[in-house]
Structure 1
Amino acid sequence: MSFLSNLGYVSRRAAQKERVRILYRRALKDTLNWAVHRHLFYQDASELRERFDANKHVEDPDTIDKLIADGEASYEKWRHPDPYIVPWAPGGTKFTRNPPPPEGIEIIYDYGKEDAEPL
């Protein structure tokens, strides 16, 4: 019985670590959307890291779950309404701007060459 309870604890902690990692990365990327200049981003990023480090030593799994839920709710509340999207990424302004031609259309690349006989 001890082995199964220990295994459940370890798997729960692994899932919590993954949720915290994902939350931190999403919040850090969203911080870049709010910062106009890089030096402002560095300041905001260090404040974000301090908020995560303040709860680094919490060991109770239920408390950790509550902190993660509070962090995710705070992220959803403060996320940027119009995030920056790389232009060529899905959702960007240049995504599929020049799609490939449809099937059956042949493109001829020998411009200026006629089929006339040489003189």
Structure 2
Amino acid sequence: MSVTSTAAYVARRAAQKERVRILYRRALKDTLNWAVHRHLFYQDASELRERFDVNKHVEDLDTIDRLIADGEASHNKWRHPDPYIVPWAPGGSKFTRNPTPPSGIELINDSHDDDQGCCL
């Protein structure tokens, strides 16, 4: 192999590893959306890990790309329709609950610092 083809191979493998890592994390988080109880999640997470480990030793780059594409398509097909979102995260129920006022609107404080009307 030449230096160029070796560098291209290493770059492609690194990109594939990153895609697999991202797919696994997304699928694992989505598994938590489907499992109501923690013991169900552990079982589902174990099965998910086994599905990834079956293809762990595949070396052909085109086969790996096809497996990743199939896995992403399967994940998109079976993704939870109403995933859990942390309330204060974007999309959550508390996100921007008390937003800052728009520009051009001034807040006026009615308290006076002078001595008139002070009750002491």
TM-score by length of 2: 0.87
CA 66–109 in structure 1, closer or farther in 2 if over 3 Å, else same: farther
Provide the alpha-carbon RMSD of the alignment: 2.4
Are residues 1:116 and 2:120 paired? Answer: no
- Give 1:68-79 correspondences, 5 Å limit: 68-79=68-79
Q: CA deviation at 1:87?
A: 1.0
More moved, 96-105 vs 59-68: 96-105
Residue 86 of structure 1 aligns to a residue whose secondary structure is coil
Report the counterpart of residue 24 of structure 1 in structure 2: 24
- After TM superposition, the runs of 4+ consecutive aligned structure 1 residues lying more than 6 A away are none
User: Displacement of 1:115 after TM fit?
Assistant: 4.3
The equivalent residue for 2:37 is: 37
User: 1: CA distance between counterparts of 2:116 and 2:63?
Assistant: 79
Q: Displacement, 1:117? A: 5.2
User: What are structure 2's unaligned runs of at least 5 residues?
Assistant: none
Could you tell me how far apart the structure 2 residues matched to 1:19 and 1:36 are?
Answer: 28
Aligned partner letter, 1:82: D
Q: What is the aligned length?
A: 118
Q: Distance in 1 between matches of 2:119 and 2:83?
A: 60
CA distance in 2, matches of 1:91, 1:20: 26
